[in-house]
Structure formats: structure tokens, C-alpha cells
Copies of this chain bind each other. A is one copy, B any other.
Amino acid sequence: MNTAALEALRARYGERLSTAAPVLEAHGRDESHPTVHPPHAVLFAHSEADVVDALRLASEHGFPVTPFAVGSSLEGQVIPVQGGLSLDVSQLNRVLSIEPGGFQATVQPGVTYPQLNRQVRPHGLFFPVDPGAEASLGGMASTNASGTGAVRYGTTRDNVLELRVALMDGTVIRAGSKARKTSAGYDLKNVFIGAEGTLGIITELTVKLWPLPAHVVVVRCTFPTVQAAAACAVMVMGAALQPERLELIDEHEIHAVNAYEGTAYPEAPTLWIELAAPSASALEETLAVCVELCEDAGAQHLDTARSAAERAKVWEARHHAYHAMSALYPGHARLSTDLCVPLHRLPDVLGAAREACDAASLRASFVGHVGDGNFHVLFHAPPDDAATWAAIHRVYDDMVELALAAGGTCSGEHGVGLHKRGYLAREHGDSLHVMRGLKALFDPRGLLNPGKILP
């Protein structure tokens, strides 16, 4: 970014523009990335007009713009690899309206999902998508995030009704509808969901809300192997129990969680299954079916968490799983896969992935939103252990091939960012030319979050 550009930004935004070293540095890194690529400047947007003008100035001066919300994405998405402006939307954080009767809320993009949930809870409602980090709704839309609630309520994509998006051509468009469904013209809304800020900047979202489940129980049960646990998860889905959550956590991760949370969960491959029903008696019926299923599937230690406090503890542990592993191996670098396969293929693919890790003697823990067929292998090793990292990447490559051969995807929820562009080429080689065409349509000069998604 040249001086003229910086001066134009300064003139327009004054104090909202920062070039302070710690601010630049904080906008040049993420969980996944060893090195820092600071932007030239950070703009803290306070309005849609701020965003529109930033895109206009970027066009005029030819500098890149990389949106930044909470910065919790895991594939290098927020890193401004070509410098330029980091467009921080985290202060666009007002809940604009809540319509309980319409099961919807309209928010600015920097609103986080826990913040929204605190505000809608008094209405008996909640927003069900819950990635482990306290992510923003704009960031979640931009990576199509999910989490533990997706098995029952869908992904962020399924829970966004309408967007306002600022485009590089200077316009702001409304995509989608506040109605629950629409067949009016081309679907532009879904083009922006999962686009990682490379096609436009989301300035407002209308999202779906759901009634809080009435009666809830969590089943915890262990299995001899991750493959057996996955097979049980498939049976639970097949029995139409419609779990609220269905999570797999392997013995290594349970060990880390116990150390981090001070819990004493049995250290074996585990399923955490949340069930809900409209009445206490209906819940008991559902629970009984689930317990029978789990026992048939070879569950060993089986327990339930019933009180709100007990259940909260389980899900807090799940949300801290990533940090728990980091805490256990301080100084290690980490890498997480994010494969997702059709449900009937999950036990095989998971079993083969586990074997590949074992065969290569890699430290790898498995966690997964297995009701969706989605699992993460968390690798870790000292950053300078080149041989281990080479082995990790070899095994990761093989796992991607396995998942794709099973009809799956290289990313269930984290997105592509910097790190998975090669895998995107393997998965969607036949349509990359169309994806490039779409990028050129919205951002002909390649100024929006350059270097991401497309290989």
C-alpha cells in the first residue's frame, strides 16, 4: 500500500485507522500459522458506509482488503498475505432486531453467536451453530461454520436467511429473503456463504432462531475403538433419534480434556450424545432406545448428564478440546484435518485414518461431529521436527484421498483459506474454472482477500 492510499484512508477514517505495530501483528496471524504477515493498516469499521468507502478506496488505489472478525478461523483465512488493509468488522456488533414470532434476528456481522444467544434466550430461543471459538456471525457465514449443533439444526448456511453484502463495484445488495424460503431468481446468498471474504463484505445478516429444547439429557459412553464408536453414531442416526449433538472424542483427547478441565472421564474412545424431547416422559423413551442401541453397539462405560450444570460442563469440555490439547503439548505446532464423508462410510474411513496414524507412529487425536460424518484429526509435533511434519502431511494427503474416494469433502466446516487450496483442486478440479469465473465476476482485480480458496 502506497503513501497516497494510506493518506486517503487516514483522511476518511481518522482514529478508526490503525498502523500501530501490535494491532498490525494481531491482524496478521491465526491459530494455524507459524509466521506473521501484518497488513499495512487496520480499519475498525463502524458502519456499512465505512465498508463501502473502504472498497471504493481499494479500487481507486489498488490495495488488497482482507476482512477480519474474531480471527478464529483455522486455515489462514484472515492473514493478509499480500498486505494492504485488514478490514476489522468486530465493532459492527449490534443486534439490530429480534423477531421471536418470526424465529429470526437481524445482526451486524461482528455480533458473536454467544452474544446473540444471551439476547434471544429470554424469548426461549437460540442460535444453534456453535464453533468452538466465540466466533462472529459474519465470520461463521464466511466459512460456513458448524459445530456440535449442526447435526440437528444444520450449518451456518442453513441458518442464514438474508445477507446485505458490499461489493467491489460499489453497490450494496440484499441476497436471500427474510421469508423462510424463496424461489425468486438466482441464489446469491449462498454464493457469499463460505466465500471467506473473497467475493464481498457481509454488512448485515438475518439468521434463523430455534426454540430451546424442553427436556434434555446427555449420554456419555465409551467404546473399545474409534471405529466402534463411529459405528454406534451411525446407528443412532439410523434410528431417527434426532440427537441434538453427537460427538466423538478419542482417548487422547479425553486425556487432554481431563487434564485441562479437572474432570475424570474414562480415557477411551467416547461418544457424547445429547437427546431432547418435548416432555419428560418422551425423553425417557428416547433415552431408553438410545441406551439400548449403544449397548448393542458395544458401549462399555455408559453414564448420563441430566442437570443443566452437568450438561454445560460436558459441552464446555468439548468446546475446549482444541485448547486442552494445546495445553498438554506446549510449544508444539498443531494441524487439524476437517474431513467429512457420507455417514455410511464414516466407520471405515475413520478406522483407516486411525490405522494410518498408528502405522506412521504419529501423535494424533480424533474428535468429530460424527452425526454429520465430520471428523478432525489433530496432529501435533515440535515445530522444527521436519521428519514428523513430513510424515503428518503424507498421512493427511492419504486421508484426503480416502475421504474423496468415499464421496466426501476435504472440509466439512473450517474452509479452505491458504492451507487447503491443493485439496480443493483435488476435490473440485472439474469446476475450478467456474470458481475462477465467479471470483472474476465479483472481484475482477483480485483485491478481496487475495491468495485464499483458489489454488
Contacts and interface: CB of A to CB of B under 8 A. Distances in A.
Contact of A183 (B187, B407, B413, B437): B413
A281 interface: yes
A135 interface: no
Most chain B CB within 10 A, of A158, A173, A341, A453, is at A173
A18 B442 CA distance: 41
Contact of A167 (B150, B185, B413, B434): B434
Contacts of A182: 144, 340, 409, 411-412
Given A372-B181, A427-B184, A103 B343 contact: yes
Contact of A188 (B157, B285, B408, B434): B434
A128 interface: no
Given A185-B435, A416-B184, A428 B285 contact: no
Interface stretch (A45-53, A191-199, A323-331): A191-199
A342 B180 contact: yes
A93 to B, nearest CB: 23
Contacts of A427: 177, 184-185
A155 interface: yes
Given A101-B238, A102-B345, A431-B173, A191 B181 contact: no
B434 A173 contact: yes
A193 B187 contact: yes
Which range holds the interface residue count of chain A?
Answer: 35 or more
Contacts of A154: 158, 181
A187 B184 contact: no
A286 B278 contact: yes
A21 to B, nearest CB: 33
A207 interface: no
Contact of A411 (B99, B101, B183, B341): B183
Interface in A420-436: 420, 423-424, 427-428, 430-431, 433-435
A146 interface: yes
Contacts of A220: none
A157 B186 CA distance: 12
A416 B22 CA distance: 52
Nearest to A455: B185
A393 B434 CA distance: 40
A185 B342 contact: no
Nearest to A437: B441
Most chain B CB within 10 A, of A342, A412, A424, is at A342
A425 to B, nearest CB: 10
A225 to B, nearest CB: 19
Contacts of A187: 144, 157, 190-191, 193-195
B178 A186 contact: no
9 A-B pairs with least C-beta separation: A101-B344, A178-B407, A190-B190, A211-B240, A173-B431, A102-B342, A102-B344, A182-B409, A282-B282
7 contacts: A102-B345, A171-B431, A174-B430, A177-B427, A179-B412, A180-B340, A182-B411
Given A184-B423, A279-B285, 9 more contacts: A101-B234, A179-B409, A185-B453, A187-B194, A188-B435, A190-B190, A211-B238, A278-B282, A281-B285
